[in-house]
Amino acid sequence: MNDKAQSAVLSTNLSDNLALIRSLLNESSDLFVKVIKSGDGPASFAVICLSGLSDTGLIHDHIIRLIQQSRLSSEE
């Protein structure tokens, strides 16, 4: 098992955030990404598998911040 590999389960509305997540992750050529959609409503979730990165924790934190910002913007 690759000790650098991590996965994050992010509870989000994918219709609003999937493109944002993908564009962020695609900025890194060293990144392998798999996004799985489950359901169509607000309870939909993405499983993002990250590998080959020196610090996936920072990437996870950035994704979560982007999603939180997106939620705040959509609620205003």
Structural domain spans, the chain: 6-75
Task: Let me know if domain 6-75 sits in CATH 3.30.1490.
Answer: no
pLDDT at 19 (0 to 100): 62
Query: What pLDDT digit, counting tens, does each position of 19-76 carry?
Result: 666 666 555 544 444 444 444 544 344 444 444 444 555 666 666 666 666 666 656 6
* Residue 30, token pair as written in the block: 């060293």
Q: Which of these, 61, 56, 62, 64, lies nearest to 2 by C-alpha position?
A: 56
Name the amino acid, one letter, at 62: H
What is the average per-residue pLDDT within 1-16?
40
Measured between alpha carbons, how far is residue 15 from residues 6, 42, 51, 67 in Å? Answer: 24, 9, 25, 12
